[in-house]
Amino acid sequence: MVVTDSRTGFFIADTTVDPLQGLLPTNQELQQSFSSFIISASGWRKVFAASKHEEDRTEALDRADSFLVAFAALAMARHLGAGTTVLVGLDARPTGASIADISNRIFLSNGIAVRYLFIAAAPEIMAYSNREGIDAFFYISASHNPIGHNGFKFGRKGGVFTGQETASVSSVFKSLVEKADSCELVQQMSHSVKQQDYEQVLHAIAQEKEQAMLAYENLVLRTAADSRDEEAIGAMLATIKHSIEKHPLGIVGELNGSARGETIDRTFLSALGVRTLFLNDRPRQVVHPIVPEGENLELCRTELEKAFAADPAYQLGYVPDNDGDRGNIVYIQQSTGRAHILGAQELFALVASVELTLARAKHHNLAIAINGPTSLIIESIATRLGAVVARAEVGEANVVQLADQLRDKGYTVRLLGEGSNGGNITHPSKVRDPLNTLVSLIKLLTSETLFAEVTNQDVSPGASLSVENAVASLPKRTITEGFSLEAIMRIKSASHLKLKTAYEKLFAADFSVRAQELRERFGIVAWREEQLEGTVCRTGVGEDFRTGAGRGGLKILFLNQDGEATDFIWMRGSGTEPVFRILADAIGDDQARHDYLLAWQRSLVERADAEACLL
């Protein structure tokens, strides 16, 4: 029986066709396919398009990849155990339905109940996974990677698994790849599934999807109100609607064929009274590269300018990645009528200012959890608003776990996230969500009182509240853009430990040589080193302050004569490819200062890599 999606018309599955029937892949084919699989705590991914071209929009998988999918589902099934329930969903990539077809069969054959959403944004499936009776979610996605990629994220209760739990699943997966009889095993499992059992799962998709969107909307409302109380939520909605009547606001959503086209964005924003214009809002209607950075925001930028020219209420635009969990922003500069890209670090800082200002009015012991390369802008904002700053290693799961640890210590953590990567996580959400970001900006741009508090400016009643003025009020810093080619370095050394040891020696020697120049030119007189692994940030130089393979982040903070950190340089090696990501964060709007520090950092990493190769 062929089943199609009632919302999009897309093919879901043919229950009469077993996707694993027929010839088994050879061990060589399997190992070759596995060799390109990137497995990390933030998600598993590879090019699943049968052609192996990363921009191919085919729905087809090759044989070896089909069996790797089955192994991934079986690893998750064994982790959960029979008698549990798994929530399955996918982003808008063409290969998603084929991957889900195989996965669903493996889950059912292992006694695991399947609740299937088909296409769903990441925040939506995670919100629904909080529902009682759902033990975990299995999300098929490759986030911001090109359209021919796909992969998996695992989690429960609204958030992704910790690194340790993901490692447990990946260990089982790798053992299945190595065992000679694994292909035959999963083939038998897929064949054993009763057609009527599978059809029952597929026929429930529409109902599950409606319930998921309702759960998601409820979470967004609770997050916006910072309360579970229905009266508080109602009061918040009434306030926003009234504020928008006084300060009309329009938003352009350029969804680039993402899963956000099949969730609540249009209805939610319209219900607030926001004017909306959506483009490319049908899933798989991908018109430019997926990662929402740099030139990929250009279409949204130009469309926002057109919308503003026709209706000055239009001030914001957003573009998500394919799973819809980020949402980078463009905004109108009202003085010129031109639209500009809001940098990831500035966006995070602006939302942090809004949410910490609001939280201070009703909570005590405020804290914010961020990753290592997030700008020192946050320290400036947190100091002004009386909040503690805590830092974790790069990785969404790390900041979520760190925030939980802070709450256990009695802190209120309203906002967390990775300022260096775009988007924010607003509690009680556990994933970046463009709707949460937009709600924070909507509050800012429609309330004179809040705008005055956040920007520390006098705002007269009826004054124009603009992103341009809000951004201008932020502490000035010059920061390496995450998508910049200067932020990525290819390395030859296989050992991060050796590279870091060499780096530390080179840096100490360089600092001694440059000490006078640094003091006279930049007011830098000292430094300290921070090393970040998981949720832990250690201050100190050397191997005593790192563990294992030493794959965490390493940051050098530069200090002025008062002992205050004014700038930093940061680096972190990839766990999946021979690449180091680097960044410089410089005080003020002095581009030359930033460029000096970044060039120094590139030189240090390059020389350390060369030395590490000789050790």
Of 168, 196, 212, the residue at which a domain comes to its end is 212
SS (H, E, C) 548-609: CCCCCEEEEEEECCCCCEEEEEEEEECCCCCEEEEEEEEECCCHHHHHHHHHHHHHHHHHHH
The verdict on residue 38 lying in a domain is yes
Concatenated DSSP letters for 126-138? HHHTTSTT--EEE
Check residue 576 and give its pLDDT: 64
Q: How many domains does the chain have?
A: 2
The verdict on residue 30 lying in a domain is yes
Handedness of CA 169, 171, 177, 181 (dihedral sign): negative
The verdict on residue 604 lying in a domain is yes
The verdict on residue 569 lying in a domain is yes
φ/ψ region of 84 (left if φ > 0, alpha if ψ in -120 to 50, else beta) reads: beta
Check residue 395 and give its pLDDT: 86
- For residues 482 and 421, is the Cβ–Cβ distance under 8 A? yes
Report the alpha-carbon distance of residue 94 to residue 99 in Å, rounded.
10
- For residues 14 and 7, is the Cβ–Cβ distance under 8 A? no
Report the alpha-carbon distance of residue 455 to residue 470 in Å, rounded.
6
- For residues 21 and 189, is the Cβ–Cβ distance under 8 A? no
The verdict on residue 350 lying in a domain is no
The pair of three-digit structure tokens given for residue 277, joined into one six-digit string: 């214009």
The verdict on residue 433 lying in a domain is no
Of 197, 212, 227, the residue at which a domain comes to its end is 212
Which residue stretches of the chain have pLDDT < 50? none
The verdict on residue 65 lying in a domain is yes
pLDDT digits (tens, 9 = 90+) for 442-471: 999 999 999 999 999 888 776 789 999 999
Burial of 360: CB neighbours in 10 Å, binned 0-12, 13-18, 19+: middle
Coil, helix or strand at residue 240: helix
Which range marks the domain in which residue 544 is found? Answer: 485-614
Of 185, 212, 239, the residue at which a domain comes to its end is 212
The neighbouring-strand residues paired with 280 are none
CATH number for 517: 3.30.310
pLDDT digits (tens, 9 = 90+) for 270-327: 999 999 999 999 999 999 999 998 899 999 999 999 999 999 999 999 999 999 998 8
Q: Degrees (nearest 5) of the Cα angle 334, 335, 339?
A: 50
The verdict on residue 510 lying in a domain is yes
Coil, helix or strand at residue 432: coil
Report the alpha-carbon distance of residue 445 to residue 431 in Å, rounded.
24
CATH number for 171: 3.40.120.10
